[in-house]
Structure 1
Amino acid sequence: MSGPPRITGGELTATAGEQLSLTCRASGGHPAARLTWLNGTRSFSSTSDSAGSGKTLDLFLPRLTKWDNGANFTCLADQGFPQLARTKASSRILRVKYPPVVQVPSPSVHVREGEPASLSCMVDSNPKADVTWRKVGGGLPELAVPRDHLLLLPKVSPRDGGPYQCEADNGVRPAGLGTVTLQVYYPPVIEDTLDSEVTMLHGQDDLSIECFAAGNPKPHIRWRRKDTSLYWDNPLRFHRVRYDVQGTYQCVAASDGFREVTRDVYVDVVGRPSIQGGLTTLTVAAGSNARLHCEILADPIPATVTWTWQTKDGAESVVMATDLGVIITEEPTDDGIASSLVVEDVGISEEGTYVCQAANMFGEARREIRLEVTAIQLSQKDKKVTNNSNDSLVVISVSMATLVLGIVGAIIVCVAVKKKWLCRERKPDTSTLSSTRSMPPVPKSVKRLGHGTNDSGVEDLELQELDGTLKPRPPPRAGKEWTSVGLSYTALAHSNTLPPYSTVERHKPDGEDIRSRGRIPEEDIMDDAIMDDTEYIPDDPPAPPPKDKKRRWTRRAPPGDMTVPSSLHEAENALNEIQADSI
């Protein structure tokens, strides 16, 4: 062959999707050359047609793709005798235009607020495409810098977050498109739709407050009472509005990686007054101060608090601060007003029911407190109010007390005298009396049995009690020696110096011997003042009286070993006992 084969077709740039037809023609040479199409080093199947003195081979591509761009199609002509004729070839580089293909290396980019961000997309196209960036739903940030397939954001903000698109266009349809999502992490932000103060009516049911907050990641929203750790879910619900729910609440929004944020909401409860629970009964001692307290919650706050007093009889009166012994004080509180009623020096007359009342534009409230006084004595106030009557009662009481004490003292003295606890005289020992002396007469204050004996020389002798019986009391010595009164004292003289009692002769005034008759003489003369009480004494010795449980008869041996006849001694005891009973 005189030259290499000639290729026709494919001189212009084709577009992807179109058809391509190439023709390879060899001329001259003998034997005729055999034609083969190669795609690089891979051969295509082909059909050869003879045309005159030369050979022709066509290559047909039904649809071009972007992968066909830059393909090297070669046509080989071989005569079959490599020693005589070398193989000759011709090539054609295929140019195919195709639309842009965009690839996104990082579909989602995460940065914190204030940090820089870089968005990128890769474009494959022929010819080269122009890349355009835009933000879905808005424009690019002011500080954004687009650089071909890159978009630079030096400092992102929460509003910069969202999807971004890069569009590549080279004139071949369709244009290429890629999407990158920018995630900007920022702390929670509570929306301004939440009011700083909410007003509720006292007594309403099922009210709620809802809080909205934005943030990335999405914040968790809760409610709490300010300065406490008690939390509620969002929205904040009030099943029953009371004055105790009034206060400041906080909406708390928290996100991972950021500090929680709060927003204060003051809940203002308005309505009729409500009186806080307290004592319904107050018990105090008389004379002390009674303090009654009443705490009112209301909005608006009542102008005044009224105290009324209901007595046990049902009478009702208004208690004024100007009343005597009454102090009324009022102090403002965080949610209302507190009123205190102090009743000084409280007494029985101040008992009753005290009513605390308060009212505003929404209504009124009242609470009853019962006052009880425990002590019986009157207070100072009662004494001031009833001074005259109380003075009389005091005088009467003192007089009665004095009279009672006098009566009791008199009774005690009488009992003591009767029991001989008082005025008890010592009993001299009469066993030493001289037998020559007659029985001493009864003193003037008592009955007398006679005028005494002739040898005594004494008109009357006083009797004394000795060992349960009355005995003659020795007369006063009057400066005389003991021997001049005819008495015997064992301490001064020996008993044997006196004659025996049995040898002594006792005579009545008429000289009659009482021993010759063998009985005790009867007293003839009685005192006129006590004649009605005189008892008859028989001649025979009387039998001893019955023994008393309280006072028993006692017999003692006469001192000095003196011998006294038993019968005569018993007769004297009986006589003395009868005289004592008469006295």
Structure 2
Amino acid sequence: MAAGCQIRLECFLLSTLLTVHVANGATYSSRPAPTAVVSGKTAILECGFDGLAEDETVIWQGPDYRVISYNRNVLKFYKRYVIVGDTSRGEYSLQISDARLEDDGKYSCYIDPAATADAILTVVVPMSGPPTIAGGELTATAGEQLSLTCRASGGHPAARLTWLNGTRPFRSAVVENKEDQTLELFLPRLTKWDDGANFTCLADQGFPQLARTKATSRVLRVKYPPVVQVPSPSVHVREGEPASLSCMVDSNPKSTVTWRKIGDNLPPIKMFRDNVLQFPRVSKRDGGLYQCEADNGLPPAGIGTLTLHVYYPPGIEGPAEDEVTMLYGQDDQSVHCVVTGNPKPHIRWRRKDTSLYWGNPLRFHRVRYDVQGTYQCVAASDGFREVTRDVFIDVVGKPAIGNGPTTVAVVDGGTARLHCEILGDPLPGRVTWFWRNNKGVENVVMTTHYGLSIIEKPTNDGTSSTVLLKDVGISEEGTYVCQAANMFGEARREIRLEVTGTPGSLVVIVISMATAALGLVGAVIVCVAVKKRWICGEQKHDTSTLSSTRSMPPVPKSVKRLGHGTNDSGVEDLELQELDGTLKPRPPPRAGKEWTSVGLSYTGLAQVNALPPYATVERHRPDGQDIRSRDDIPEEAAMDTEYTEHLAMEAPTPPPKDNLGRWRARAPPGGLSVRSSMHEAENDLNETEAENI
């Protein structure tokens, strides 16, 4: 009955208002604004006009176009509604007490139905509880699918649902159903990165100041196989220091870690701690490739690889022997040095106590006796001291005869020296000499003949054998063969002996040349003396007063002026009063081996012992200059007939040669023993060597 009256009243008021004149000058001073109110609270919808005429009517209209009031009059049906404000100022606000869901809707305030101001009143009824999550298991395995459903119930307005991953909303795989307030989350493939994800379902009614946003969260647990990471794939440490090898394992559930050494067993001294393999003190044997394996029951197992580099000083392990024997004459022989160390050592060979270096292995392209000796293998590494090992190279084999002159030329009547240097290991028991004459007949050289001796002496590297021939004649000319042999074989060397000229002819030539030279010098001296009136002048010297203690020697080709150091100053250098010392010929050259090669004999001189030996004169004065005083110089007149006889004297004839063959097995004359002959030969050899020097 009441509802029908209400409807009829509204129709009446509406028809009446349509006939009311509306002033064109009224405007809104405040329009109704959207308002939200919690159920049971009071809501006010504002509305006001400026320039409102007295005959104008302000109408409030509610949801479904129902009229609520006109001016200040509210229909009796709306007992919780009232018009508030100063009407004299045109204020006609609508106040709703104890707001209910039936009050929710659109409200309009106007004086002209053609120009209305609308506002939405929202009555908020908070949800009784948070949303719920249903669907798949929250503990899944990597590679599987995941489907979750979030459902909200109760409340007004209906809550908007959102899935969050932590604090970030999911933009994909979201299906929303507003009718039953559900929201589904779908993940087609889970990965290990989803493990620990915080999936949150958020329910928001849109008015957080009136109804607090509610949420439900779940943490996703994803099981996945282990993943191994190696922080330091290569670890470097010196021998004797501690070391640690570590692997980082990511898995769910937790994995068991197992360590192994590739190609070897784990060192006995080790410790495990939180996936770390520890070595309190490493040795060079601990170096190598290590592997850590993590397993949690989900395939595949995780594997990490690490390399432990242990630095240690070089150590020489080979060659196995300290002495290596090689055969003389072999080709391409080598000795290899085996060295361990880290970093890799630099290996070289050197001859001990020298700076001669070779590579490794030490190679000999052809083995000779001169390569015998001690060699050192030298190994050096950065950061460590170098180490060495001595190896003695012992060369054995047949003898080797050193190089030397293949031809020896000796003047007839001189002394010949034929020499061989023999190397070998073992050394030959004896050295044999053969003589091959010009007809090709070969005989053994023996020491049974006077004037021939064979001298053998040890040397630093072997032995030497020397044949010494005194008073050589043309019959000794030929080829001499030095032969040495041991258990490995024999070696031979040939030396050709050539005998040239005769000592007598050489002496005659030398004396003739000396006589001519002295005569020329004497003539020059006489001419100068006559010119200077030293002779044939008014004052003549008494030659009978000159000393005749010794004969006057021949005048040399050139003399030195006193106080000068040259012999090419001119003719004035020959003046007798300026000569320094006793005139005499120059001494023979040192190259002469026999007394007959000198060319002059001093046997005819008086008081020969008064003259110093040539060696002394040559040692004290250059060019054989005499050291006697100026007062001993005789005048020209003192050259008597004894001087002339001396110039005409010939060299003595050398002693006759013994023409007996040297190769006959006979003792030396006079019963000279072999031992005394060897002793005499050694003295002769020493004299010969001294003269050669």
| TM-score, L = length of structure 1 | 0.56
Cα distance in 2 for residues equivalent to 1:115 and 1:346? 83
Residue of structure 2 equivalent to 1:118 = 244
| 1:361–1:124 CA distance, 2 compared to 1 (3 A) | same
Where do residues 119-138 of structure 1 align in structure 2 (5 Å cutoff)?
A: 119-138=245-264
Cα distance in 2 for residues equivalent to 1:321 and 1:72? 119
Q: CA deviation at 1:348?
A: 4.5
Determine if contact 1:10/1:94 at 8 Å carries over to the other structure. no
Q: CA deviation at 1:302?
A: 2.0
Q: CA deviation at 1:305?
A: 1.1
Where do residues 260-409 of structure 1 align in structure 2 (5 Å cutoff)?
A: 260-281=386-407, 292-309=418-435, 317-320=443-446, 327-333=453-459, 335-342=461-468, 346=471, 348=473, 351-353=476-478, 354-369=480-495, 370=497, 376=503
* Deviations 1:258-301, CA, capped at 9 Å, x for gaps: 33333444444443322112344557799997654322122343
Where do residues 439-450 of structure 1 align in structure 2 (5 Å cutoff)?
A: none
SS at match of 2:265: coil
Q: CA deviation at 1:140?
A: 1.6
* Deviations 1:400-443, CA, capped at 9 Å, x for gaps: xxxxxxxxxxxxxxxxxxxxxxxxxxxxxxxxxxxxxxxxxxxx
Q: CA deviation at 1:20?
A: 1.5
1:203 aligns with 2:320: no
SS at match of 1:32: coil
In structure 2, give the amino acid aligned to 1:21: S
Residue 175 of structure 2, aligned match among 44, 47, 71: 47
Q: Percent identity?
A: 72
Q: Which moved more, 1:60-69 or 1:214-223?
A: 214-223
* Deviations 1:147-200, CA, capped at 9 Å, x for gaps: 222222222222222222222222333222222211222233344356544444
1:219 aligns with 2:219: no
* Deviations 1:21-65, CA, capped at 9 Å, x for gaps: 2111222334433322222222224322367xx422211122222
| 1:332–1:149 CA distance, 2 compared to 1 (3 A) | farther
Unaligned 5+ runs, structure 2: 1-126, 505-693
Cα distance in 2 for residues equivalent to 1:88 and 1:233? 84
Residue of structure 1 equivalent to 2:594 = none
Determine if contact 2:412/2:499 at 8 Å carries over to the other structure. no
Determine if contact 1:351/1:373 at 8 Å carries over to the other structure. no
Where do residues 20-35 of structure 1 align in structure 2 (5 Å cutoff)?
A: 20-35=146-161
Cα distance in 2 for residues equivalent to 1:83 and 1:152? 60
* Deviations 1:501-557, CA, capped at 9 Å, x for gaps: xxxxxxxxxxxxxxxxxxxxxxxxxxxxxxxxxxxxxxxxxxxxxxxxxxxxxxxxx
Residue of structure 1 equivalent to 2:128 = 2
Determine if contact 1:220/1:254 at 8 Å carries over to the other structure. yes
Q: Which moved more, 1:249-258 or 1:77-86?
A: 77-86
Residue of structure 2 equivalent to 1:64 = 190
Residue 146 of structure 1, aligned match among 269, 272, 279: 272
Residue 183 of structure 1, aligned match among 303, 309, 325: 309
SS at match of 1:67: helix
Residue of structure 1 equivalent to 2:140 = 14
Cα distance in 2 for residues equivalent to 1:84 and 1:230? 100
Cα distance in 2 for residues equivalent to 1:316 and 1:217? 67
Where do residues 539-554 of structure 1 align in structure 2 (5 Å cutoff)?
A: none
In structure 2, give the amino acid aligned to 1:262: T
| 1:106–1:9 CA distance, 2 compared to 1 (3 A) | same
1:165 aligns with 2:291: yes
In structure 1, give the amino acid aligned to 2:176: S
Determine if contact 2:319/2:336 at 8 Å carries over to the other structure. no
Q: CA deviation at 1:312?
A: 7.2
SS at match of 1:100: strand
Determine if contact 2:138/2:219 at 8 Å carries over to the other structure. no
Cα distance in 1 for residues equivalent to 2:244 and 2:256? 19
Determine if contact 1:133/1:146 at 8 Å carries over to the other structure. no
SS at match of 1:27: coil
Residue of structure 2 equivalent to 1:548 = none
Residue 256 of structure 1, aligned match among 382, 392, 415: 382
Residue of structure 2 equivalent to 1:495 = none
Residue 36 of structure 1, aligned match among 130, 145, 162: 162
Determine if contact 2:413/2:473 at 8 Å carries over to the other structure. no
In structure 1, give the amino acid aligned to 2:465: S
In structure 2, give the amino acid aligned to 1:37: W
Cα distance in 1 for residues equivalent to 2:358 and 2:129? 95
| 1:155–1:332 CA distance, 2 compared to 1 (3 A) | farther
Determine if contact 1:348/1:373 at 8 Å carries over to the other structure. no
1:74 aligns with 2:200: yes
Q: CA deviation at 1:115?
A: 2.4
Cα distance in 1 for residues equivalent to 2:241 and 2:451? 76
Cα distance in 2 for residues equivalent to 1:216 and 1:348? 74
Determine if contact 1:132/1:148 at 8 Å carries over to the other structure. no
Where do residues 405-444 of structure 1 align in structure 2 (5 Å cutoff)?
A: none
Cα distance in 2 for residues equivalent to 1:90 and 1:108? 48
| 1:280–1:81 CA distance, 2 compared to 1 (3 A) | closer
Residue of structure 1 equivalent to 2:80 = none
Cα distance in 1 for residues equivalent to 2:340 and 2:428? 43
In structure 1, give the amino acid aligned to 2:245: L
TM-align CA RMSD: 3.4
Determine if contact 2:234/2:306 at 8 Å carries over to the other structure. yes
In structure 1, give the amino acid aligned to 2:341: G
Determine if contact 1:201/1:241 at 8 Å carries over to the other structure. yes
| 1:67–1:264 CA distance, 2 compared to 1 (3 A) | same
Cα distance in 1 for residues equivalent to 2:332 and 2:464? 30
Residue of structure 2 equivalent to 1:91 = 217
Residue of structure 2 equivalent to 1:105 = 231
Cα distance in 2 for residues equivalent to 1:187 and 1:84? 81
Determine if contact 1:312/1:352 at 8 Å carries over to the other structure. yes
SS at match of 1:187: strand
SS at match of 1:47: strand
SS at match of 1:115: coil
| 1:78–1:281 CA distance, 2 compared to 1 (3 A) | closer
Determine if contact 1:9/1:21 at 8 Å carries over to the other structure. yes
Cα distance in 1 for residues equivalent to 2:502 and 2:245? 92
Residue of structure 2 equivalent to 1:574 = none
In structure 2, give the amino acid aligned to 1:28: G
Unaligned 5+ runs, structure 1: 378-583
Q: CA deviation at 1:333?
A: 4.7
In structure 2, give the amino acid aligned to 1:47: V
Cα distance in 1 for residues equivalent to 2:135 and 2:461? 98
Determine if contact 1:281/1:372 at 8 Å carries over to the other structure. no
Where do residues 492-571 of structure 1 align in structure 2 (5 Å cutoff)?
A: none
